[in-house]
Amino acid sequence: MRGICKGLLIAVSLSLSVGSAFAVERTVRPTKKNPAVATSTVKVTTKATYGPEKAMDGDSRTGWCEGAKGDGVGESISLYLGDGKVMGGPQDVVVHLTRGLQTNWKTYSQNGMPTKVKVELFGGSKLLRSRVGKVENAFAAIELKDVPKTSGGLWVRVTILGVKQGTKWRDTCISEVRTEFKKANPHHVREFVKRVCLMVNEPKTYETNSRLKKLVKQIRKHFISDFDESKKPHCDPGGVNVLSDTDFELWGTEEGDGATILRFHLRGVMWDLKTVSAFTAWD
């Protein structure tokens, strides 16, 4: 992946002792201003970066790669998810992992990837739910049942417990960490999606909001079948995943062995399209 050897990797530790056996002791809690933190990050001599923010950017071609000595067991990444009051509850929360560095098949195979992780969901300093799960394929889903309400800031921590070594590099990578809140409805996002899908599916729908009309025009192409362009666009409001209090994703049309994922971000009082990525079958 990179023109360096492991000997050039510099571990950025968040503890007084790099040799600590538990990433828990070294974790800094993420915040709204600093929403992605990790116990270590690989340092490279190229322009590419592999910080924890890359695991929450909606692009599976980028990712976080730990930079500790060895294979990364015990290293963790933590992401801020928003205001607990806004997200509500109780509800089930699914943590989706896109393992490895999925820039391409070469990076996916040459870098390490987790095979077992511990997922913890916090409200402020209080642990709400945790679970250890296996990561056997390129994509994995670990469900946390009946997560209680909280008034604190929600954040998730994923700790690497097992690793499949890469064929070339020793660092272990995670391309994306996506949290799916089953009942959350921050800023009435689910009603917004229904409105958007109606406008996508029925282009003649009357609408006075020019910003919304521009957004719909921008995304309609992603709901048109690649196999039969004569079909009407099909946007399903049930295909929405609430990720945080400022982000959600909406699944588009199937594309062969995958699908299109549109990610939206709240800017002021309006949801804007942030990224468009593809879900594909890797293994």
* 128 plus 190 within the same structural domain: no
Contact 247, 254 (CB under 8 A): no
Structural domains counted in the chain: 2
φ, ψ for residue 231 (rounded to 5)? Answer: -75, 150
* pLDDT at 230 (0 to 100): 73
Query: Whole-angstrom Cα distance, residue 160 to residue 39?
Result: 11
Q: Which residue has 């959350």 as its token pair?
A: 184
Q: Among 140, 156, 181, identify where a domain stops.
A: 181
Percentage with pLDDT > 70 across the chain: 88
- Do residues 139 and 97 make contact, with C-beta atoms less than 8 angstroms apart? yes
Q: Does residue 224 fall inside a structural domain?
A: yes
> In the 8-state DSSP scheme, what is residue 124?
T
The 3-state DSSP class for residue 283 equals coil
The CA distance from 135 to 172, in Å, is 13
Q: Are residues 195 and 174 in the same domain?
A: no
Residue ending a domain, among 181, 206, 229, is 181
First to last CA, the chain: 19
What is the pTM for the complete model shown? 0.86
- Helix residue ranges, H only, the chain: 84-87, 105-110, 189-201, 210-219
Residue 30 belongs to domain with CATH number: 2.60.120.260
Token look-up 């642990």 returns 127
Mention every residue, 6+ apart, whose C-beta is less than 8 A from residue 191: 185
Of 20, 60, 22, the residue nearest 173 (C-alpha)? 60
Same domain, 166 and 258: no
Domain annotation covers residue 1: no
Complete edge-to-edge strand list for the sheet that includes strand 126-134: 36-38, 76-83, 153-164, 113-123, 126-134
10-residue mean pLDDT profile of the chain (283 residues): values are: 35 29 59 96 87 94 95 97 95 97 95 98 97 95 96 96 96 97 96 95 87 92 79 89 96 72 92 86 70
Say if CB 123 and CB 181 are below 8 A apart. Answer: no
The range of the structural domain enclosing residue 253 comes to 186-279
